[in-house]
Amino acid sequence: MIVFIASDYRGVEIKKEVINYLKSNGIDVREIGLPNLEVDEYPDFAFKLGHLVTENKNSMGILICNTGIGMSIAANKVKGIRCVRATSVDDAFTGRSHNDANVLAVGANLGFNLIKEIIDSFISTKGPTIERRINRVNKIIDYENGEYNEL
**151 within domain boundaries:** no
For residue range 93-130, what is the model confidence (pLDDT) as tens digits? 999 999 999 999 999 999 999 999 999 999 999 999 99
> If you average pLDDT over every residue of the chain, what do you get?
95
In a domain, 150, yes or no: no
Is residue 72 domain-resident?
yes
Residues 42-57, mean pLDDT to the nearest whole number: 97
- Kindly state whether residue 43 falls inside one of the protein's structural domains: yes
**Quick check: 39 pLDDT over 90?**
no
Residues taking part in catalysis: 98
Its domain, for residue 68, covers 2-144
Measured CA to CA, the distance from residue 82 to residue 119 in angstroms comes to: 16
What CATH number does residue 69 fall under? 3.40.1400.10
Check residue 148 and give its pLDDT: 82
Domain count, the chain: 1
Report yes or no on 112 lying in a domain.
yes
| Confidence at residue 92, expressed as pLDDT on a 0 to 100 scale | 98
Residue 111: inside a domain, yes or no?
yes
59 occurs within a structural domain: yes
**Residue 31 φ then ψ, to 5°:** -75, 155
- Kindly state whether residue 82 falls inside one of the protein's structural domains: yes
Q: Where are the beta strands (DSSP E) in 2-142?
A: 2-7, 28-31, 60-65, 83-85, 103-107
Residue 41's Cβ-count burial label (10 Å; 0-12, 13-18, 19+) is: middle
Q: What percent of the chain has pLDDT over 70?
A: 99
Segment 64-91 shows an average pLDDT of 98
Question: How much of the chain exceeds pLDDT 90, in percent?
Answer: 89
pTM for the full model? 0.94
**For 65-80, what is the mean pLDDT?**
97
- Confidence (pLDDT) at 151: 65
